[in-house]
Structure 1
Amino acid sequence: MAGGLVALFDDVALIARAAAASIDDVGAAAGRAGVKAAGVVVDDTAVTPQYVRGLSAEREIPIIRRIAVGSLRNKLLIILPAILLLSEFLPWLLTPILMVGGAYLCYEGAEKIWHRLRGGHDHATVEEAAPDEESLVRGAVRTDLILSAEIMVISLNEVASEGFWSRAAILAVVGVLITVLVYGVVALIVKMDDAGLRLSRSQRKGVAGLGRGLVKAMPRLLTALTVIGTVAMLWVGGHILLVGSDELGLHAVYGFVHHLEELAHEATGALGGVVGWLVNTAASAVVGLVVGALVVLVLSLTLHRRKDPAAPGTTTH
């Protein structure tokens, strides 16, 4: 009897160790997948605060909560089942779809730079066009659907070799963690100026100075997030295109960038790993900028020109 109990405990311990290892594997894979989606995550974090700008302070967090719930619904109920079925039955489509997403990221990054160079302003925020909360939430969730699709497809590409249920678990973890991270950070950002205003009324000079500093830092932080998000989109989008083209048999550009990375690695000794990564990142960003600029040019000469009746070369009736 005692021997049977000892054997049973051994079996339970073995199962527990296997389960713990599986959880560790899922967590590690989710971490790797999430890092690859960093460019879209930063952009998502930079975009979302614009949807609550101008709202009363007490409505900001409820609106962010509703958008976060919509984002989870996008990831877990729409995108996750679709890409899992795709990876199971049409895996050869993953690389082309990922490259289309990479090109879209390049376009978004290049378009932001183009608007900046022209001295123009970004499109009107949702609250200016439709101030009611329902429209705000619907617009934010629609935008999130595009960004979430990019996050999930990029993440899927990192775990495509895993089994079906492992992929499902990893992507579900990525979806939940990234949503919590993005909208948690967004909530902190939009409340930073409110916290600063409260602190600035303190009788203690140090606390009041900190509060005024937070209020002044808010627009700078949003600007910094926009810049970082733009660079990250060009880098991630360009890297996706480089790796995808290599997988499709077009090795020239990827091989050239890889060669530059190896030269930098060899020439810088102990710092070779860091310098090589920086070279690869910079080259990927350049590729992303070139591709994005070409897409912006094509759309400006075709789709955008047709939409703008005042554009040069168009006629009005």
Structure 2
Amino acid sequence: MTVPAMMKAAVMTEPRLIVTEERPVPQPDEHEALVKVMAVGVCGSDVHYFEHGKIGSAIVRYPMILGHECAGEVVAVGKAVTRLKPGDRVAIEPQTTCGRCSACKSGKYNLCPEVEFFATPPIDGAFAQYVKMREDYLFPIPDSLSYEEAALIEPFSVGIHAANRTGLKPGSSVAIMGMGPVGLLAVVAARAYGASRIYVTDLEPVRLEAAKRLGATHAINVREQDAVETIKALNGGSGVDVAWETAGNPRALQSALLSLKRGGKLAVVGLPVEAEIPLNVHFITDHEVDIYGVFRYADTYAAGIEILASGIADVRTLVTDRYSLDRTQEAMERALNNKSGSLKVIVYPNG
């Protein structure tokens, strides 16, 4: 395949300003492949960096390229690459790790202190026509899976990781607080792991309706109903086996905790602005609640591709807004300002 010397990239040059620039096409080393990026989802973290220029201690160094939910086509490979060839369609796991530290060797490579993650300062992301990636973080996708669906494997992986962390089992009841894209895809993960009752909460009707289409058994608008009381009433008076908080909202986290039965498990997925949030310690100890932090994911992509390729849910319905690369500024503004209408915004660097 002919690979150009230069490419277009959507570059954030200051807070809330993205411009299209010409950049050299990355040159893959012997263990890397060059991927022509076909679809990139706009993530909540992208929006936060766009609006505020930082997330916690991660501070943007301008200029920077955002975007990490991505998929594309391999166009060139390094001389040591054995698993891939030009023409392969791939989902891109947007992180590389050292492979040597105790976290990597124990299988928790998401906790590697040397991890380099797309669009996390100072690493550039995928709002560009080409990216390079180590071959072990590229996963071939079947022809039946679109590039948009393959890009959604990234946020879907968070739900899979939450399911693994909390030991979700067939027949379990689960409450998922917050129906942003991660929460919506967590509904699909809960279905895939066999949850029999999936209770979801949110403020926006469009998101609750989307959750029901994806398999939620009960959708609760917290503007109209008390989440904890409603979940227990629907669940036969008992709390749920597992609760995942995916919104990064303090009240949602408190509700997730209080929705649990005795011996229940809580996963903290969403990141609130505040580092410290009051939680009912008496409830935690009296109910012997297990609490799990969820930081990205590890070893989820193969399973994620298999699950979505099975047709368990039509996640393409989540894509509500589509933009070309030179309209990335508009895409970010849309994701920032249209939370009541947009579910997933996708940018097409080569479309």
TM-score by length of 1: 0.21
Higher relative contact order (CA 8 A, sep 6+): 1
The structure with the largest strand share of the pair is 2
The structure with the largest helix share of the pair is 1
TM-score by length of 2: 0.20
Q: Which protein has the larger Cα radius of gyration, Structure 1 or Structure 2?
A: 1
